[in-house]
Structures are given as structure tokens and as C-alpha cells.
């Protein structure tokens, strides 16, 4: 009877564990599917608000504009149609709020009932005109030409150099500055954190006595529990003014400030994993090295570090993962400028900071909303690659120990 109850209990616990694992796996899978479903809906859509059209005079030979060309036209960076392949004619912007320059409010109508006729007449009479308006105001006998706007493609999204998702009439979704900003800050952080973390791990594993190690280890692990916003405040109050003063910059919110803060945040991961890997070096290997006449330092860099290189590399990669995914601290100290950085002393914007700053103001289901989901997909793929690399390193270590 007792054995039957014990077997039933074991089976019941196994079933609960299997159910828990299944639910967790399905939940993660559904989140990933939802992320990509929302994000991929951005592509092959026109980069103008749904229900609106771009129209020009019928004599204009152009039939298609790129989003970049359209933005330059409405920003008045392009002033003549000949600059983008059209007639040698000045560009005239017709905005709906400027219709009163051509017609009185009475002529337009209190309910805008005459607006289609007014738009039709102005577009037909001005050869250089271009206008952006709701398609419900397109007259049945519209005498202008409605332009086609190139759809958003994956290539244009990844190679685009301008991130301006609220531009009218054509938002700019160039993610290259955000990707480069993320990589600059992340790799700057690891260049700062890896030497310092490795040196600390060597000291704790092979040099420090037990008393010092027992003090240092909890203090270092405590760093991992400090909220990122606290690191952000520290960077804003201490690191940013220091960088501004040291390099004589107009502002101190730069990629360097983000790298230093993220490097500090990555230190606990790097130190803990590297120190554990070094302490797992067989004692017999250390004693053999010392017995052959090697000094303590020679034993560390010729025996301990090579034997622990897989663990050290895994710690570095996990530190990069922490840096890539960090949001709040980076948002506070990097300046949030969506430009392609030329040096580490320039403001940058990272992918996580962009999502955190803009998701609340993006209309659900709109192009901006979907573009932020694509950024989440890119971040997911970067993290996936990092995890695969860590898994590969772990397997290599396992095979080497067999």
C-alpha cells in the first residue's frame, strides 16, 4: 500500500513538472509568434497613413516617389521637380490647412462639403502642386494624378539611415542608426567590463584569501540586484558631467557614458561566471604546474585561464546579452539621438531605449506600432544568436572534459 502511494505521488509530481514545462514552452512560443506576426505586418505596406493619398497635377510625369523623396519634398529640402526626375517646375506644397489661401471658409463649407471640388480645382490649375489629403475628399471627376509610394521593404528598413516614425506624410523607418547605436554601446561596455571583470575573477579565485573572498563575492553579487534606474541616475549625475568636462563636449550623454554604465552592470555576470570556471580548474593541474617550476602567475595565465576559457567566454557573452537588452539606464545617459555614430563620444539611441520611449505614443496597429515590433524581432534574433553561441561554447567545454 505504501509503495503504491509512493509510486502514485511520483507519477503525479512528474505529470505536474511535465505540464509546467509544456505550458512554459507553449507560452514562450506564442509570444515569439505574436512578436513576429505584429512586426512582419509592417512590410509591403505604403509608408503613408491608411486612407490618405498623395496627388500632383496631371502634367507631372512622375508616377512614383520613394518615402525619402516624399519627406524631402514636404520638408522643402527638394524645391524643384527636376531634382527628382520631373519637369523643371517649382514644387508647390498644398496643405489642407492652407486651403483658405485659395477659398473662403464659406466656399469650402461648414461641413467641408465643397472641399473635394476645391482640391480638384487647385490641383488642376497649379502644375507644380503636390498635396496630401484624405481619400474621402477625392472628387469623382478628380483631374489630378494620385502618386504611388514605394512600399516598405526589409532591405530599406535595415539599410535606412533615418528613424523618424512620426514624419508626415511619410514616416521614415531606417533602423541602421539604432542597430549601430546598440552595437557601439554594447561592445564598448564589454571592452570596459571584460578586462576588469577577468582581473577581479583571477584575484578572487587564485590570489585572495578566504576571508577577503567571502566579503567580495556577496558585494559583487549585490550589484546585480541594484535596479537599472539607479545606475542610470548614477551615470547622469557622475559619469555624464565627467565625460563632458574631460573631453570638452557640448553634452556628456554619449555612447561612452552608456558603455561605462552597462559595463558596470555587466561586471557581476562576468566576474561570477569567470570566477566559478577558474575555481573549477583541477587542483592537480595547478600543483603539477608549480611542481615543474612555474610561478604562481605563470600557472594562472598558462594553466588556469586556458582551462577556464570556455567559462570566461560564456561570461563575456552573457555580459553582452545583458548590455544589449538593457533599457532604462541607456535611455538616461546616451542622449537618444537616432543618428549613425562616428565616434563613441557622440549621442546614440539603442533598440531597447527606442521601444521603451516610443511604444506608449504609437497608435495600436499603426505603422509606427508595427515598426517597434520589428525592432523587438531584431532584438530577439540578436539574443537568440548570443544564446546559440553560449550553447556552442558550453558543448565544446563538455566535449573537452570528456
3-state secondary structure of 335: strand
Q: Are the C-beta atoms of residues 386 and 317 closer than 8 Å to each other?
A: yes
Encode pLDDT of 68-78 as tens digits. Answer: 888 889 888 99
Look up the pTM and report it.
0.84
Burial class (CB in 10 A: 0-12, 13-18, 19+), 281: buried
SS3 content of the chain, % helix, strand, coil (to 5): 65, 5, 30
What average pLDDT does the structure give for the chain?
Answer: 87
What confidence score (pLDDT) does residue 190 get?
A: 82
For the four alpha carbons of 97, 99, 105 and 106, in that order, the dihedral sign comes to negative
What angle separates helix 309-325 from helix 176-202, to the nearest 10 degrees? 140
Q: How confident is the model at residue 397 (pLDDT cuts 50, 70, 90)?
A: low
For the four alpha carbons of 119, 59, 81 and 126, in that order, the dihedral sign comes to negative
Average pLDDT value for residue range 275-281: 88
Report cis status (omega within 30 of 0) of the bond before 116. Answer: no
Q: Which residues pair with 348 in a beta bridge?
A: 335
Q: Which residues pair with 93 in a beta bridge?
A: 130
What confidence score (pLDDT) does residue 297 get?
A: 86
Encode pLDDT of 319-367 as tens digits. Answer: 777 777 788 888 899 998 888 888 899 999 999 999 988 988 888 888 8
Encode pLDDT of 288-316 as tens digits. Answer: 888 888 888 888 888 888 888 878 888 87
What confidence score (pLDDT) does residue 256 get?
A: 94
Q: Is the model more confident about 68 or about 372?
A: 372
Encode pLDDT of 50-92 as tens digits. Answer: 888 999 999 999 999 888 888 889 888 999 999 998 889 999 9
Neighbours of 169 (CB within 10 A): 21
Q: Where are the alpha helices (DSSP H) in 45-114?
A: 67-74, 105-108
Instruction: At 381, list the grid cell.
Output: 534574433
3-state secondary structure of 75: coil
Average pLDDT value for residue range 26-31: 90
Closest CA to 102 of 124, 80, 69, 135: 124
Encode pLDDT of 114-132 as tens digits. Answer: 999 999 999 999 999 999 9
Instruction: At 233, list the grid cell.
Output: 541616475
What confidence score (pLDDT) does residue 400 get?
A: 57
Amino acid at each position: 500500500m505504501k509503495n503504491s502511494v509512493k509510486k502514485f505521488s511520483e507519477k503525479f509530481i512528474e505529470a505536474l513538472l511535465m505540464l509546467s514545462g509544456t505550458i512554459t514552452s507553449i507560452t514562450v512560443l506564442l509570444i515569439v509568434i505574436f512578436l513576429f506576426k505584429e512586426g512582419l505586418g509592417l512590410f509591403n505596406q505604403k509608408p503613408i497613413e491608411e486612407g490618405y493619398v498623395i496627388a500632383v497635377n496631371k502634367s507631372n510625369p512622375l508616377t512614383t516617389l520613394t518615402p525619402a523623396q516624399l519627406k524631402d519634398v514636404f520638408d522643402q529640402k527638394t524645391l524643384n521637380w527636376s531634382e527628382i526626375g520631373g519637369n523643371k517646375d517649382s514644387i508647390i506644397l498644398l496643405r489642407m490647412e492652407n486651403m483658405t489661401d485659395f477659398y473662403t471658409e464659406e466656399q469650402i463649407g461648414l461641413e467641408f462639403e465643397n472641399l473635394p471640388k476645391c482640391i480638384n480645382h487647385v490641383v488642376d490649375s497649379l502644375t507644380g502642386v503636390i498635396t496630401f489629403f484624405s481619400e474621402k475628399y477625392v472628387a469623382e471627376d478628380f483631374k489630378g494624378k494620385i502618386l504611388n509610394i514605394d512600399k516598405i521593404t526589409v532591405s530599406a528598413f535595415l539599410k535606412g539611415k533615418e528613424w523618424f516614425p512620426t514624419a508626415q506624410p511619410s514616416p521614415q523607418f531606417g533602423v541602421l542608426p539604432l542597430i549601430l547605436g546598440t552595437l557601439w554601446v554594447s561592445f564598448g561596455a564589454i571592452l570596459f567590463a571584460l578586462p576588469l571583470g577577468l582581473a577581479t575573477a583571477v584575484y578572487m579565485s587564485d590570489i585572495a584569501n578566504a576571508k577577503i573572498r567571502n566579503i567580495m563575492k556577496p558585494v559583487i553579487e549585490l550589484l546585480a540586484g541594484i535596479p537599472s534606474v539607479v545606475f542610470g541616475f548614477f551615470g547622469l549625475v557622475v559619469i555624464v558631467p565627467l565625460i563632458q568636462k574631460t573631453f570638452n563636449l557640448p553634452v556628456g550623454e554619449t555612447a561612452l557614458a552608456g558603455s561605462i554604465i552597462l559595463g558596470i552592470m555587466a561586471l557581476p555576470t562576468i566576474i561570477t561566471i569567470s570566477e566559478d570556471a577558474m575555481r573549477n580548474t583541477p587542483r592537480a593541474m595547478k600543483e603539477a604546474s608549480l611542481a615543474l617550476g612555474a610561478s604562481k602567475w605563470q600557472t594562472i595565465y598558462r594553466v588556469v585561464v586556458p582551462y577556464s576559457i570556455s567559462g570566461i567566454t560564456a561570461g563575456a557573452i552573457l555580459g553582452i546579452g545583458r548590455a544589449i537588452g538593457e533599457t532604462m539606464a541607456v535611455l538616461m545617459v546616451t542622449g537618444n539621438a537616432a543618428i549613425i555614430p562616428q565616434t563613441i563620444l557622440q549621442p546614440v539611441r539603442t533598440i531597447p531605449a527606442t521601444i521603451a520611449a516610443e511604444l506608449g505614443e504609437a497608435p495600436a496597429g499603426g505603422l509606427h506600432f508595427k515598426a517597434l515590433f520589428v525592432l523587438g524581432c531584431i532584438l530577439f534574433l540578436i539574443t537568440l544568436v548570443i544564446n546559440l553561441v553560449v550553447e556552442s561554447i558550453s558543448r565544446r567545454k563538455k566535449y573537452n572534459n570528456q
